[in-house]
Amino acid sequence: MRSAVSPAAVPSSTATLARRVRVLRIVLALALIVAVPLVVALAAHQGNAGTEDAYRQQARADATARHLGMTDVMQMAREGQSDDVIINQIRTTNSAYTLSAEDLRMLRENNVSDRVIMEMQNRRADAHPRMRYVHVPPPAPVYMIGPPPPPPVFVVGPPPPVVGVGVRIGR
């Protein structure tokens, strides 16, 4: 016995091909929607790489320029700067020292006063942490892409009912 499937219920090969082309177009469109912002963000990030290095170099230069070293203190004492000026400079630059016995001897030989040496001893690195200059790069742009749209839904209903028209001739 043959199956009673009408030709309208079986999709034709052209309809199947058209459906596949539509699905392929949707997939390609979604791929472009995702890929284009990613490529733009990558290009922007690579363009900022040089400026980040410049910021880091500037931060290092600022941090080292503001610290008052032991040789600077000895130079200021030899130049005849007052104790108050030297101590003020140590405090304003937030300089910290860990002095050894050799350092104390060298400071005394260079005519650094006891007040300045005591201030340097009181400015230990652990008691007075120096300011740190840290470059914080600007945040990268974030592209929010929502969930993809749901796939298309094809509803295939039952075939239309078979209607027969009969003609009767005669009785």
- Tens of pLDDT along 155-164? 888 888 887 7
Question: Which residues of the chain are modeled with pLDDT < 70?
Answer: 1-12, 45-52, 55, 58-66, 125-133, 171
Determine the pLDDT at residue 160: 80
pTM: 0.40
Cα–Cα distances in angstroms (integers) from residue 87 to residues 46, 70, 77, 99, 101, in the given order? 46, 12, 11, 16, 20
Q: How far apart are CA 96 and CA 59, in angstroms?
A: 19
Determine the pLDDT at residue 54: 72
Q: Are 117 and 104 in contact, with CB atoms under 8 Å apart?
A: yes
Q: How far apart are CA 67 and CA 78, in angstroms?
A: 19
Output b/e per residue, 81-104; b: 16+ Cβ within 10 A: eeeeebbebbeebebbbeeeeeee
Cα–Cα distances in angstroms (integers) from residue 81 to residues 74, 114, 165, in the given order? 10, 14, 122
Rg (CA), the chain: 42
- What are residue 21's phi and psi, to 5 degrees? -65, -40
Q: Are 125 and 103 in contact, with CB atoms under 8 Å apart?
A: no
Q: How far apart are CA 68 and CA 96, in angstroms?
A: 8
Determine the pLDDT at residue 157: 83
Determine the pLDDT at residue 133: 65
Q: DSSP string spanning 95-126?
A: ------HHHHHHHHHTT--HHHHHHHHH--TT
